[in-house]
Amino acid sequence: MIEKNTLNLKANTPTTAKSTSSLLAQPWRVLVVDDDADIQSVTRLILANVVFKNRPIELISAHSAAEARDILTKQTNIAVVLLDVVMETDDAGLELVKIIRDELRNNAIRIILRTGQPGHAPEERVIIDYDINDYKSKNELTAQKLFTTVVAALRTYETIVSLNKTRTGLEKILQSSDSLFKVQSMHEFSSGILTQLSSFLDCKPQGIICIEETINQSYTPATADNMKITAVTNEFECCLKCNLDGSCGHSELTELIQRAFAKREHQFAGNYSAFYLKTGAAKATIALVCSEHAIDSSDQMLLEVFTSKISIALENAVHYQKMVSLEKAAVTDFLTGLHNRRQLLRLGIPLLACANRKNPLAVSIINIDFFKLINEKYGHDLGDVVLKKVGQVMLSHFREQDLVSRYGGKEFCIIAPALPASEAFLLFDGFRQVLENTAIDIHPNESIHITVSIGVTTDLCPNLDDMIAAAESLLYQAKSSGRNCVVVR
């Protein structure tokens, strides 16, 4: 038990190597929920100086489940909860678990249950009935074990947050075009340019951002074919889909933009300013800003310096966008938008390292039944349609923390953290049923249905390749059993 009269802090308190830099990164936020003031004090004493990945731990105290609920409702970036069971009621901690997972829908936060009265919450029942990540009795939780437990939880939390972000990115990829300059991705930066210029001119953000998609090396007027509006403010909303031909009713502004592109320099006309922002050899940008007063010569000189800085930032943003696109291409299956095998192994290995009996892990291999016949009958183009549809159904069905990937050909691999064998069958068989009932259109008046065979292993192995091999073996059993089924071990 963590008690101030028995804990040998000098011997048991873990030491951590602090960064040589005095500026540490954003702290890990750990919520301690316990009505025992001594437990709160000693926990704070043990973890106060812990630094993990150059980030300190910030401890937040709650002395009841109700207080903890208020904190969790307002603060969404808490990584770990050290949660007592018996507080204002005998099962206050367990009820809080339900609130976190079901009501607040927070699946990333790691919940470590600590109890001084195991009889009120038997470990086996709690692990099965509640979505917690670890269970510790206070009489066994030494300073060193507390340190180990918290750091392991932080590592898992970091991985899951990364997966959630990646998953969101995958969903956007499936919905967006393959264009390098997506309106969605450049819009925020473009709006920022308008805000900065308007702030400099001491006026409300009013204007248009227009990007030249290919630069004409000769100094001839730019045409509507190679210019595109990427951001507008409310007053110019009608211009967002304009072809810069004056059809939106702003013919004078269109001429000003055309002139700035043609002369490759700023243009001023009354209260309107068209700023030419060069972004390297590939593209240029025009920022049209409406100010509340005309720009005098002194302002124009200052704007010349200011816009040169914006041009550098914009060029960096263009290069960054290219790098992001290349990085996504390296870890993403080009057809389905899911993780590829390389990304599966990169993200899956740390998930396996954090898995144990109390924090289980499921690995599955999913194979499309009779996929060769589909290609032979309908052609490979339809086969690609089927693969894309399977990827879309996977992203909508599986949990945010699940790692979904195309493993190769007609096979997919899913790594599901915090998923015991008792729940694995329900999750994967549910996917099988949803996919079986999903119609895939092949012609305007014709659709097909497909099935999958699934092998799932929850037996932890020393490395991820062994678990994948075990899942493949179970997949063969599913195929031998007649296909369109799930085999879990």
- Per-residue pLDDT at 29 exceeds 90: yes
Q: How confident is the model at residue 291 (pLDDT cuts 50, 70, 90)?
A: confident
- Residue 182: the pLDDT is 40
- Residue 173: the pLDDT is 34
- Residue 13: the pLDDT is 43
pTM here?
0.42
- Residue 199: the pLDDT is 63
Range from 210-219, 237-246, 402-411 that averages highest in pLDDT: 402-411
**How large is the average pLDDT for residues 108-131?**
83
Q: How confident is the model at residue 222 (pLDDT cuts 50, 70, 90)?
A: very low
Range from 23-27, 233-237, 311-315, 469-473 that averages highest in pLDDT: 469-473
Range 397-400 contact pairs with CB under 8 angstroms and sequence separation of 24 or more: 397/430, 397/431, 397/434, 398/427, 398/431, 399/107, 399/427, 400/107, 400/108, 400/163, 400/164, 400/167
Instruction: Give the lowest-confidence range in 48-52, 86-90, 196-200.
Output: 196-200
- Residue 122: the pLDDT is 79
Residue 451: partners with Cβ closer than 8 Å, 6 or more residues away: 368, 369, 432, 435, 436, 483, 484
- Residue 177: the pLDDT is 32
Task: Share the mean pLDDT of the chain.
Answer: 80
pLDDT digits (tens, 9 = 90+) for 228-285: 776 777 677 777 777 666 666 677 777 888 888 888 888 888 778 888 877 654 466 7
**How large is the average pLDDT for residues 146-161?**
92
- Per-residue pLDDT at 19 exceeds 60: no
Instruction: Give the lowest-confidence range in 121-125, 248-252, 313-317, 369-373.
Output: 313-317
Q: How confident is the model at residue 208 (pLDDT cuts 50, 70, 90)?
A: confident
- Residue 276: the pLDDT is 82
**Quick one: CA dihedral 191, 196, 199, 200, positive or negative?**
negative
Range from 5-19, 51-65, 331-345 that averages highest in pLDDT: 51-65
- Per-residue pLDDT at 224 exceeds 50: no
- Burial of residue 424, with CB atoms counted within 10 A of its CB: 0-12 exposed, 13-18 middle, 19 or more buried: buried
Which position has the higher pLDDT, 13 or 32? 32
- Per-residue pLDDT at 154 exceeds 90: yes
- Per-residue pLDDT at 1 exceeds 70: no
**How large is the average pLDDT for residues 415-425?**
91
**How large is the average pLDDT for residues 340-362?**
89
| Amino acid letter, 206 | Q
Residues in the chain: 489
